[in-house]
Chain A
Amino acid sequence: MSTMKTTRDVKGVGISIPRPDGPEKVTGRVQYVADIQPKGLLHAKLLRSPHAHAKIVSIDTSAAKALPGVRAVITAKDIPHLKKKAPTRAHAVLAIDRVVFMGQPVAAVAADEPSIAEEALDLIKVEYQVLAASIDPLKAMLPGAPPVADAGTEADTSEALAHSAVAIAKSDTPAKAVNISQQARLQRGDPAEGFAQSDHILEKTYRVPMVHQGYLEPHAVLAEWDRNGLLTLWASTQGSFNTRSEVADVLGIPENSIRVIPVECGGGFGGKIRALCEPITAVLAQVTKRPVRYVMTRREELQAGMPAPQVIIKLKTGVKRDGTLMALDAETVIDSGAYSGAVLAVSAVFLGSMYKWPAFDIRGFEVLTHKPSVAAYRAPVAPQTIFAIESQMEQIARDLDLDSVEFRMRHLIQEGDPMVNGQPWQNNGAKQVLSRIAEHPHWKTRKQWVAAGKDGKRRGVGLALGGWLGGLQPTGATVRLNPDGSLAVLTGQVDIAGTNIALAQIAASAYGVDTDLVRITTGDTDVAPMTGLSAGSKTIYTVGAAVLQAAEDARRQTFEIAAKELEASIHDLELVDGKVTVRGMPDKGITLATIGKKGNLYMSKTPPVLGKANPAFSQQAPGFAAQLARLELDPDTGEVTLHDFVVVQDVGKAINPIGVEGQMQGGAVQSLGMALTEGLIFDDSGRLTNPSLLDYRKLTAADLPNLETIIVEVPAPAGPFGARGVGEPPIIPAPAAIANALQDATGLRLTELPLHPERIALALANGAAKAP
């Protein structure tokens, strides 16, 4: 069934409609996990390792257990089925005999009050034998480095598959160094020959530190068991079915004995995909036979959350004097922390696939270190990768005195061109967004604007392009006709981005009623059709298609009933203003309410209308964004003032423009933080040196200008009404755009994020960026 549709003449797709949960959110009435107050609630706290790598010699919990108000104190010994070779972070519920990162949970307490639980933590005595730690990923790769994983632990690529639906061939050579958990190599042509024929060779190493997703609501979960052994989890999650599967696997219990209720998610951005504190909270609830809630503190989030990985990318490019691309050599090292799970493939694909390199050798390594393990962060590894390749492209253009847009445009891929993994690029709007930003007055007038700088300030304008392949996952939806003619749509998809209102608009346009007649519900794992993560920019693309098809199914059923009632051919019917009529005979009709009522009448022979669809997908829809920054720099202090920021994005079809703009603005600001201020800084012993929001600096309203958003619509052939994924592309180009603008302002190529005042001032003082 095709999902590319023209919208019907109803208030549906393409109209800006504010989210219906707005009034509940502005009054503080929406409940998050920490707001739920069940009777008999206990509070959980975790004792965490003070060392990055240590052997656990002994744990004494007796004093903690004796504290009044403490209901349970458990260690790994109390969870007999824990596996020593934890395949994922979630499986390492509590450390067994070794801790592998600072902040790793060692013991857990449930108590009547949070303060009692905290006091109990102080009474637990743990004796550690500190071991040498691998902190720097480049050193961790070397033979003889202190090992992180227990021997035999396998690479975890589930997130890569869930997120980007991109696969690359695994390298034939097995990992030799102890801490290399994944590696891949992609080659085409003869890079050595390409470099030999190049007039311009540029070698740079780009570095991006670990950054935190920064959701305002810390991880939180509430767990309770009933007397039949059914576990209910109220979770802040991006995917309730994934949470159920992970918890079932970790606890060794059937999926059917777990019900996950997705509670309003106070921000996820990839950080709430994988289970983190759900298993331990479930165990505490089982032991105490009481509801138990665990809410992470912000300090715990920063020290022991699941941040985005540190990424180091070494690039060597060779081009002819006229800008002809000849060869690319790239090596990406992704620091995955203590457990495997980084999305290695994205880096390889975007380093080598955005522009048409005739010869390349791209190598990627996932390295384990004694640091918190990583997870996805909105377009995982894409902003870091684009920072490297878009900085490099800009530098080449400047070195060769080429127009930086024309240079990019000349080599930019289009539909059908092969990616580095040999797969063809799907239909996309890369060229359209790049031309659109090049037409922007800020770009056309950049020389005048830069020249108008005064008071010793230096001005710069920069742009960058970036993309995302678009995720895929099977899903399902139902559309029910109510007895009053309204529609009830049910999915299991967690709404973390305003997707529910857009899905309602899709149902409205596909069925043929106004959106205000559609109510959409996100069901829990007991009642909803199975569905995947709200991640990878795939909710509207995939769940939207399911809703569209289910709404068409419901429309077909409605028309079948109407045809029988009206004694007319189904082909002669139309739906106008809530009434199915015979075309050309507006008096001969039946209202949706009548059809809906007939489906719920005692002794009625009319079936209730229940549209359903459960599609599986094969075609991806890449989404591209181009961004432009105009900034001013104080050369004495290194302080950057962002004057303007423009986001151009191809969204295929903006189902709900106001929601799309919100995604474009929010995504851009997250990566402006990555560009300018954010970074988790670890010392040599693996201790996080900035574990608070005072020291881990996120951008505030006062740091930013108004963001300009420009929506481009290049319809995706398989997308609902042509829509593409929206969430990820806007976070991708900003760091490169900022670095390129800073080069415009200073002449310096800065290759390490974040570009905070100290780094910029030092680079200016040294006269050149020292990093090769």
Chain B
Amino acid sequence: MAKQLLSCTVNGEAVEVLVQPYVNLLDALRENLGLTGPKEGCGTGDCGACTVHVDGKVVASCLMLAMQARGRKVRTIEGLAAADTTLHPLQEAFVRHGVPQCGFCIPGVLMAATALLEENPRPSQEEIRYGIAGNLCRCTGYTAMVAAISEAAETLASQRSAR
């Protein structure tokens, strides 16, 4: 099959890449663009390890064809920290709470949590738990994860009010 030209924005930068029409967004990000932060844990949209944002919405990148991202804005875990490498408050809270154990689910969880806080800046514990319910984690039991997201929401809120 002839490859097609995918033009989109990834982590703020315009990219053009040739992909097979049957390739999913996850493989295009990982294989063609070298962004291996998003992981394949199941390939069927059940585990959330491949979670990225497309136009600000949470997407399981294993379930979306790469060509469907044409002209859209894709954000991966590699685009979460600031350009000067300062960690996002969510990332910072995850580190301090010792959330990452094996770490394989973490990029997906962080993208889901980022989208949650962008939509709902002050979520309750229950809203946090539902916000990351699409992301399986086998190491942490989620308790430290929920605490870290809750704390990051506070940090972001105080940053906003300081501005």
Contacts and interface: CB of A to CB of B under 8 A. Distances in A.
A704 B87 contact: no
A264 interface: yes
A634 to B, nearest CB: 18
Contacts of B143: 665, 704, 706-707
Contact of A267 (B42, B104, B133): B104
Contacts of A23: 87, 91, 95
Interface string A656-684: 00110110011111100000000000000
A34 interface: yes
Given A298-B43, A700-B136, A19 B100 contact: yes
A168 to B, nearest CB: 31
A693 B46 contact: yes
Given A217-B39, A662-B141, 9 more contacts: A22-B94, A214-B138, A216-B105, A216-B136, A267-B104, A665-B142, A666-B141, A700-B142, A701-B128
7 contacts: A34-B39, A661-B144, A665-B140, A665-B143, A670-B138, A700-B132, A701-B133
* Contact-size category for A: 35 or more
B53 to A, nearest CB: 14
A292 to B, nearest CB: 16
A21 B100 CA distance: 8
B46 A694 contact: yes
Interface in B39-57: 39-44, 46-47, 49
Contacts of B44: 298-299, 692-694
Contacts of A297: 43
* Contact-size category for B: 35 or more
A21 B98 CA distance: 10
A662 B87 contact: no
A37 B42 CA distance: 20
Contacts of B94: 22, 26
Contact of B39 (A216, A694, A700): A216
Contacts of B103: 21, 25, 30, 264, 266
Contacts of B20: 115
Interface of B: 20, 22, 30, 34-44, 46-47, 49, 76-78, 80-81, 87, 91, 94-107, 110, 125, 128-130, 132-147
Interface string A676-713: 00000000000000001110001011111011000000
Contact of B101 (A662, A670, A692): A662
Chain B CB within 10 Å — which of A19, A269, A496 has the most?
A19
A18 B142 contact: no
B87 A28 contact: no
Contacts of B47: 216, 298, 693
Contact of B106 (A26, A268, A661, A707): A26
Contacts of A25: 100, 103, 106
B34 A217 contact: no
Chain B CB within 10 Å — which of A23, A25, A299, A700 has the most?
A25
Contact of A27 (B38, B80, B147): B80
A69 interface: no
A665 B138 contact: no
Chain B CB within 10 Å — which of A29, A31, A264 has the most?
A29
A722 B103 CA distance: 29
Nearest to A707: B143
Contacts of A698: 136, 138
Chain A CB within 10 Å — which of B22, B41, B110 has the most?
B41
A594 B124 CA distance: 54
B101 A702 contact: no
Contact of A26 (B34, B35, B87): B87
Chain B CB within 10 Å — which of A16, A264, A666 has the most?
A666
Nearest to A659: B98
A5 B36 CA distance: 44
A85 B86 CA distance: 57
Q: Which are the 6 A-B pairs with shortest beta-carbon distances?
A: A28-B37, A665-B141, A266-B104, A25-B103, A693-B46, A22-B95
Contact of B100 (A16, A22, A269, A667): A22
Given A32-B39, A693-B44, A700 B133 contact: yes
